[in-house]
Chains A and B, each alone.
Chain A
Amino acid sequence: MTLPQEENFMRKISAEEKIEPKDWMPDAYRKNLIRQISQHAHSEIIGMQPEGNWITRAPSLRRKAVLLSKVQDEAGHGLYLYSACETLGISRAEMIEQLQTGAAKYSSIFNYPTLTWADVGAIGWLVDGAAIVNQVSLQRTSYGPYSRGMIRICKEESFHQRQGYEAILALAKGSEGQKAMAQDALDRFYWPALMMFGPHDSDSAHSQKSMEWKIKRETNDDLRQKFIDQTVQQIEVLGLEHPDKAIKWNEERGHYDSSDLNWDEFWSVINGNGHCNRQRIEHHVAAHEEGEWVRDAITAYNEKKRAKQTQDAA
């Protein structure tokens, strides 16, 4: 027997009405959302590192400014998503704790190192590009604050994607050395970008329930296919070689056929053993710990100020 509140919840879900923070929701729905939104927020924050790695070496002042403001946008996305997640009854401090202990995940893509300047372009183009495919779909997610966050964030991600593509284009049309740098970045980031959509639907632990509750609106494999299809022509325009030698148009399906991914690598990175997993978390922990005395100073200052105000009022 279903309770009236649960019935009402499911009615809203099927009617495409948004669930809002004060509405009743099943515990599992709340948990699932917290997992997904916090993971998304952590991805924005950890994602600042591989790109931030190039701020001090950006090859022109214009690119330096563009990169600075992109990384700043990502910090803003993280902040926005942490707030959206807080509406579900978890604090930012708890979420950060989960990130640092490994209880919460972030996108596996950020565990790959940025080795050349071209990687910054490749990230904007492919990583923000893949994120948009996923997030456009999430604009229709059933939880109101998350849906609104996605609408807002998507606009900026599209901007990042265009800037990244433009940066790669400049390299692809540049000197031999620049072009080689662009090809190398594409070769390294293409596959991990495809993995951003997660495991095959058949291996995805959270997918089915998420689809039922309309937290997720399209499956991992469908979204991945969309991204594969849209990227083929972009690579052609750049005049670069497609990293997937098996890529081939399939008239019948109306999609490109492609190689399967290296799922061993995927699971190894997800489970914390990628190239940069340890480095990323250590960086986050180190900055957080080094900042502790600053945060303490603010708390102490505000307390003193409040005490003084109370005293003055008395």
Chain B
Amino acid sequence: MSDQIKKALLEYTTRLGDDAVVLGHRISEWVSYGPFLEEDIAYGNVALDYIGRARMFYTYAAELANDGRDEDDFAYMRNDREYHNLLLLELPKGDFAYSQIRQLFADAYYTLVLPQLLHSKDERLAAIAAKGIKETKYHLRRSRDWVLRLGGGTDESHQRAQKALDQLWGYTHEMFDMDETEQLLADAGIGVDVSTLRDEWLAIVTEIVTNATLSVPEDSWAVRGGRIGYHTENLGHMLTEMQIVHRSHPGCKW
């Protein structure tokens, strides 16, 4: 493996870990705040899946970095500017509709990304993808059901769901951007070329959104920057909370 690819692979694996930990954290904020008990449990499940996935990516990233860091150093000892997650995933949980629409976008995305990653020439990435595929199918079924219920429920739930769609749409474009790092890995058969996935993603989302009697927003705006650490103002607050205990006791084991 060339040094250039090695470096790209570390960055890529870290990004995927960042995506997973940030979304997992946001979902976990719902625990004990859900609309009913069954939903608290379901949210907990999804959060656990993402935290588990983050641990696998970071553990692999730590091995690639080979500089004595472990998974927690990746999660807890990097600042917001060093985090390279997608912006969509770091936005605050908002109301239930907002979180569910975000989840629909993310679940539809990973339903497409993971099967591609399964064919990665990098065995470790392929193995992590294999673990995630089944749970992602379940996640998508769940968010699909929710969007149908919210869209087709009451006027209020319909309005809230539509508002969430409109507010979040501009953050979805970034999911399909490629940069040099990702292009290098895609060409080497290691990473996923996400730019090829937008049509399929749009088809999945459109089908669900339309069935829910909601409308797919126009592509009139886009906010980008997660992959270069140009975040929304929210991530800093999230990490402040997430990292406070770990950083208050430097070098400690937990």
A residues bordering B, Cβ < 8 Å? 45, 48-49, 52, 55-65, 68-69, 71-72, 75-76, 78-79, 82, 117, 167, 170-171, 174-175, 177-178, 283, 287, 290-301, 304
Contact = CB atoms under 8 A, between A and B. Distances in A.
Contact of B32 (A82, A283, A295, A300): A283
B73 to A, nearest CB: 10
B29 interface: yes
B154 A68 contact: no
Contacts of A57: 241-242, 244-245
A314 B66 CA distance: 68
Q: Chain B: interface secondary structure?
A: helix
A68 B51 contact: yes
B131 interface: no
Contacts of B95: 290
Given A65-B55, A300-B154, A60 B254 contact: yes
B44 A297 contact: no
Scoring B152, B160, B244, B245 by chain A CB atoms within 10 A of each residue's CB, the highest score goes to: B245
Given A76-B41, A291-B36, A294-B96, A64 B51 contact: yes
Contacts of B160: 293
B142 interface: no
A294 B249 contact: no
12 contacts: A60-B76, A60-B254, A64-B51, A65-B55, A75-B40, A174-B254, A175-B249, A178-B249, A283-B32, A291-B96, A293-B160, A296-B156
Contacts of A75: 37, 40-41, 44
Nearest to A177: B249
Nearest to B96: A294
Given A59-B249, A75-B40, A297-B153, 20 more contacts: A45-B37, A48-B31, A56-B25, A57-B241, A57-B244, A59-B76, A59-B254, A60-B76, A60-B246, A64-B28, A68-B31, A72-B45, A75-B37, A79-B37, A170-B253, A174-B254, A175-B252, A290-B96, A295-B36, A296-B154
B154 A72 contact: no
Contact of B58 (A45, A61, A71): A61
B37 A290 contact: no
Given A59-B76, A79-B41, A295 B35 contact: yes
B248 to A, nearest CB: 8
B212 to A, nearest CB: 10
B159 to A, nearest CB: 10
B245 A78 contact: no
Contacts of B34: 287, 291
B17 to A, nearest CB: 10
B200 to A, nearest CB: 27
A297 B31 contact: no
B241 A61 contact: no
Contacts of B37: 45, 75, 78-79, 82
Contacts of B156: 293, 296-297
B150 A61 contact: no
